[in-house]
């Protein structure tokens, strides 16, 4: 049940934001966006500070960081999805 709720929250966030999954975006390589499993600390040291940080929502906590060109979703302290802004 917990995984189903988690998946629903993530899906809602992604669909509501009107975003496309970065791994499927043409012309974008893994080096251009954070990879799944990276920590918040590593994302910030590699890509710099995000332009916007949104507070954690739900349980487990899902946090969203916005960068120009992509958005990163974290569960606790680790990347679960990176999406390209259309």
pTM over 0.75: no
Return the pLDDT at 8.
53
CA distance 86 to 65: 16
For 2-27, the pLDDT digits (tens) are: 655 555 555 555 545 554 444 444 44
Residues 40-60, mean pLDDT to the nearest whole number: 97
**82 within 8 A of 22, measured Cβ to Cβ:** yes
Tally DSSP H helices, then E strands, for the chain. 2, 5
User: H helices within 1-86, ranges in order?
Assistant: 2-16, 40-47
């Amino acid at each position: 049940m917990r995984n189903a709720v988690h998946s629903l929250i993530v899906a809602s966030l992604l669909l509501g934001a009107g975003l496309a999954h970065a791994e499927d975006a043409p012309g974008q390589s893994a080096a251009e966006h954070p990879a799944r499993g990276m920590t918040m600390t590593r994302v910030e040291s590699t890509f710099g500070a995000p332009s916007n940080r949104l507070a954690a929502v739900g349980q487990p906590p899902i946090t969203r960081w916005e960068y120009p060109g992509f958005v990163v979703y974290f569960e606790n302290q680790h990347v679960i999805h990176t999406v390209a802004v259309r």
